[in-house]
Structure 1
């Protein structure tokens, strides 16, 4: 791939990724506001208790094959066909097991209503198992536009359905139906846009060739999913359903924030980095550019979200959700670093170091889980603070392994990340101080957003930040010529 073509594909991928994720987060925001106003924290808690089971099942059926197919130099129909049948059969087996385990799950949480809810919600990963190979085709070939359209259509139709059901008094069934319907529509469109179809010539031999790489990703993803959902399990076991709901709501807002940046970068980072994996100097340049762009977006967005969290919650989903504000603000600190950690891990995967990625993630997850289990008697905020602190500090471990692979120096990564982090934190601090006298909640949130944006952009201009100039130039170049 020529340099010009690589740049064009990267720019186009970022553009479509940004448009897609921007629209998706806007739709998530709109539908989330309606649902949160119609439903109670307990309703969200019911679905939140099952999140870890759904996520683990989805991870097991995918088994890291998307990344394995992306990293593989030469792929053929038989590779995708093997993945399709393996993931579909795995999905069927897992659904059957969890279907009969639903009473045990309900008994663990002391909620008998979870039995039918679990059996319905688990249909989501069964359906998604039939689209893993198709998603791999789209991901490997950087069909970012097609993926964006599939996700936006799925989100709109499922969101409208969920709101209608909640409005008609169907409570948590509206959230569950929204989830299952989104997966169904999105996977159906993956089939349509990928233009690839499975055949009945079933041959699992390609799976054996990919499993050495994908199995490490599988174990890693299992630990990551467990780590990300352990809060819901602990809260559901030791606290009230409402507290699970507060955490789920806070985590949803945090996810909407960092997912915009992470999904935009993730949609192109691993394929691009894998494409230049044989040219270390070039890969280092590409990676540093991505790192600066990620930090440039992530810190102001996520710290800004923490700044307006209280006003945002009051205006959008009313004061009944105020208890989730401090949880949301702490999660936003972790969310600011999440896309950076994801970029580091994608670099290691592109170099074929799935074992390093696996063990580093497992060690971090094991430390977090053990610490949170020990600290749960001291309250939610204590557990959450430790969780966030470990996530932030662990980036030093990712840096160590990336340095070993491509020679990224600590001073360079600190410069690439730290400068944007410091500017964003200072911007948020100054904005908070300036807006202290304002009491009207609507004026306050608008003032915070405008002042913070003006200060951040002004500093970017004055410091002559290259990434800011490139973003402005790219946006201007896309304007139609008169």
Structure 2
């Protein structure tokens, strides 16, 4: 290993720890706050917020245009790349802000939701805040400063959670979520500008812009396909089934995808930066990929299958009876995002080694399948939409790994070797958890719920320590060695 690769290796490990462990701990706080908000607000409030965020995050892609990942993926960049990106962002964001002020009434009329008008006008402030964050944040990611990013995000998340709950308790309805998100984004802006080493100027260079565009244009199309894939279901459900059914679906979707966002995507962001820095070293990229896939599967499989197993009690006990229509969707969507979590590191690897065009075309093909299937089946209800999402992520997983295996001459056996142990362990855990959750051991449903989760955790940990598998040997050996060291210290 050269010194530069050692340095990248150290920063990657630090990034994985900070950018996954801290958000993973905050993840439980986020779940608790989401449960609290669900008990205070109505499904319709979440339906309105679902439409607002869909429209915003789709339009926000036009401000970045894939340049953030282009900066990360490039072997060399300088200050003029960052400044050109910043200028482009400001111009596009300002145009979008003005557009939403003008056309929000028409959007509200299309969705037959008058409250959407003012909500979109206020929330469009996020465009201006995001425009100032993007370039400094790209600098932090390129330099693998994920520790700083984790601290910034943890701070903003805490502010968002506290402010949204306080506002909801005081009767602000869906405005509590809008105001809290704007406040949190403002905090991110201030902290990012303070911590980023890159000082931006309002300068634009055509040559630098063109260099970023070569990669960025395909990353932009990729982003379009990703965002449409993640939100076209909400738009179709909102249009054909109404905001109340969308509220049920959106809440189930939020809980199901939360582990994917907080764990798999974070691992993928760190791995994309790491893969990009060593993209010419096939041995190093293969080593990183193997370890990150194993770590991702080890954490995500039990979380998603566990959530699917306890979806009924999770909904009724923690959210209340008014959310009962989302139970089946939550169980099915947990399986869908299990497939998405497996796909995330594969996609990051493909993009880092330069296969972004092929990966984007795969996503667009899957998006067509998703959209057509949703339009055909949406009248069957939100459970049918969840089934369609399982199909969508299954096709994307198979196609994405085929692309990666072709580039590296890997077979399907390699993927199975990485996944079989956590899948078997999580499958056994699912059987234990669902059996206990459906039992009547205790008169109180809450006691059954807690017992089911506790037994599931014990089962999975026991299988992790007992099942021999090359995919997670390095994880198990670290855990066993630390347990032995602690045992020796306590005996001495």
TM-score (ref. length: structure 2): 0.93
Once the two structures are TM-superposed, the CA of residue 102 in structure 1 deviates from its matched residue by: 0.5
Within 2, Cα distance between the matches of 1:61 and 1:149?
Answer: 25
Confirm or deny: 8 A CA contact 2:346 2:401 kept in the other structure: yes
Q: Is residue 441 of structure 2 the alignment partner of residue 438 of structure 1?
A: yes
Q: Aligned to 1:422, which of 421, 424, 431? A: 424
SS in 2 for 1:50: helix
Once the two structures are TM-superposed, the CA of residue 379 in structure 1 deviates from its matched residue by: 2.2
Q: Aligned to 2:476, which of 431, 446, 469? A: 469
Confirm or deny: 8 A CA contact 1:23 1:152 kept in the other structure: no
Counterpart residue number, 2:160: 158
Once the two structures are TM-superposed, the CA of residue 278 in structure 1 deviates from its matched residue by: 0.8
Q: Aligned to 1:354, which of 340, 353, 356? A: 356
Q: Aligned to 1:456, which of 441, 444, 460? A: 460
Q: Is residue 377 of structure 2 the alignment partner of residue 375 of structure 1?
A: yes
Q: Describe the superposition over 1:52-103 as per-residue Cα deviations: whole angstroms up to 9, x where unpaired.
A: 2111112111111111101111111111111111111111112212221211
The verdict on how the C-alpha distance between 1:348 and 1:322 changes in structure 2, with shifts beyond 3 A counting, is same
Counterpart residue number, 1:75: 77
Once the two structures are TM-superposed, the CA of residue 351 in structure 1 deviates from its matched residue by: 0.8
Once the two structures are TM-superposed, the CA of residue 345 in structure 1 deviates from its matched residue by: 1.0
Please identify, of 423-432 and 69-78, the stretch whose mean Cα deviation from structure 2 is larger: 423-432
Alignment of 1:223-234 (within 5 A): 223-234=225-236
Alignment of 1:59-74 (within 5 A): 59-74=61-76
Counterpart residue number, 2:117: 115
Once the two structures are TM-superposed, the CA of residue 395 in structure 1 deviates from its matched residue by: 1.0
Within 2, Cα distance between the matches of 1:474 and 1:153?
Answer: 34
Alignment of 1:371-410 (within 5 A): 371-410=373-412
Once the two structures are TM-superposed, the CA of residue 365 in structure 1 deviates from its matched residue by: 0.9
Q: Describe the superposition over 1:144-164 as per-residue Cα deviations: whole angstroms up to 9, x where unpaired.
A: 111011111111112211111
Q: Describe the superposition over 1:444-470 as per-residue Cα deviations: whole angstroms up to 9, x where unpaired.
A: 122111111111111121113404314
Q: Aligned to 2:37, which of 35, 38, 41? A: 35
Counterpart residue number, 1:203: 205
SS in 2 for 1:198: coil
Counterpart residue number, 2:339: 337
Confirm or deny: 8 A CA contact 1:284 1:408 kept in the other structure: no
The verdict on how the C-alpha distance between 1:18 and 1:474 changes in structure 2, with shifts beyond 3 A counting, is farther
Alignment of 1:46-445 (within 5 A): 46-435=48-437, 436-439=439-442, 440-445=444-449
Please identify, of 87-96 and 258-267, the stretch whose mean Cα deviation from structure 2 is larger: 258-267
The verdict on how the C-alpha distance between 1:45 and 1:163 changes in structure 2, with shifts beyond 3 A counting, is same
Confirm or deny: 8 A CA contact 1:144 1:267 kept in the other structure: no
The verdict on how the C-alpha distance between 1:474 and 1:43 changes in structure 2, with shifts beyond 3 A counting, is farther
Confirm or deny: 8 A CA contact 1:298 1:337 kept in the other structure: no
Once the two structures are TM-superposed, the CA of residue 301 in structure 1 deviates from its matched residue by: 1.1
Note the residue ranges of structure 2 that are not aligned, 5 or more in a row.
none
Q: Aligned to 2:46, which of 26, 41, 44? A: 44
Q: Is residue 454 of structure 2 the alignment partner of residue 447 of structure 1?
A: no
Once the two structures are TM-superposed, the CA of residue 257 in structure 1 deviates from its matched residue by: 2.0
Misfit runs of 4+, over 3 Å: 1-7, 473-479
The verdict on how the C-alpha distance between 1:43 and 1:51 changes in structure 2, with shifts beyond 3 A counting, is same
Within 1, Cα distance between the matches of 2:478 and 2:333?
Answer: 28
Confirm or deny: 8 A CA contact 1:303 1:424 kept in the other structure: yes
The verdict on how the C-alpha distance between 1:226 and 1:164 changes in structure 2, with shifts beyond 3 A counting, is same
Once the two structures are TM-superposed, the CA of residue 374 in structure 1 deviates from its matched residue by: 1.5
Q: Describe the superposition over 1:283-313 as per-residue Cα deviations: whole angstroms up to 9, x where unpaired.
A: 2222122111111111111111112222222
Once the two structures are TM-superposed, the CA of residue 430 in structure 1 deviates from its matched residue by: 2.9
Once the two structures are TM-superposed, the CA of residue 393 in structure 1 deviates from its matched residue by: 3.4
Note the residue ranges of structure 1 that are not aligned, 5 or more in a row.
none
Within 2, Cα distance between the matches of 1:315 and 1:138?
Answer: 41
Please identify, of 455-464 and 64-73, the stretch whose mean Cα deviation from structure 2 is larger: 455-464
Number of equivalenced pairs: 481
Please identify, of 408-417 and 467-476, the stretch whose mean Cα deviation from structure 2 is larger: 467-476
Q: Describe the superposition over 1:22-56 as per-residue Cα deviations: whole angstroms up to 9, x where unpaired.
A: 23312312321221121110111111122221111
RMSD: 2.1
Please identify, of 342-351 and 383-392, the stretch whose mean Cα deviation from structure 2 is larger: 383-392
Within 2, Cα distance between the matches of 1:296 and 1:463?
Answer: 13
Once the two structures are TM-superposed, the CA of residue 475 in structure 1 deviates from its matched residue by: 6.6
Within 1, Cα distance between the matches of 2:433 and 2:117?
Answer: 48
Within 2, Cα distance between the matches of 1:296 and 1:467?
Answer: 12
SS in 1 for 2:164: helix
SS in 2 for 1:392: helix
Please identify, of 79-88 and 462-471, the stretch whose mean Cα deviation from structure 2 is larger: 462-471
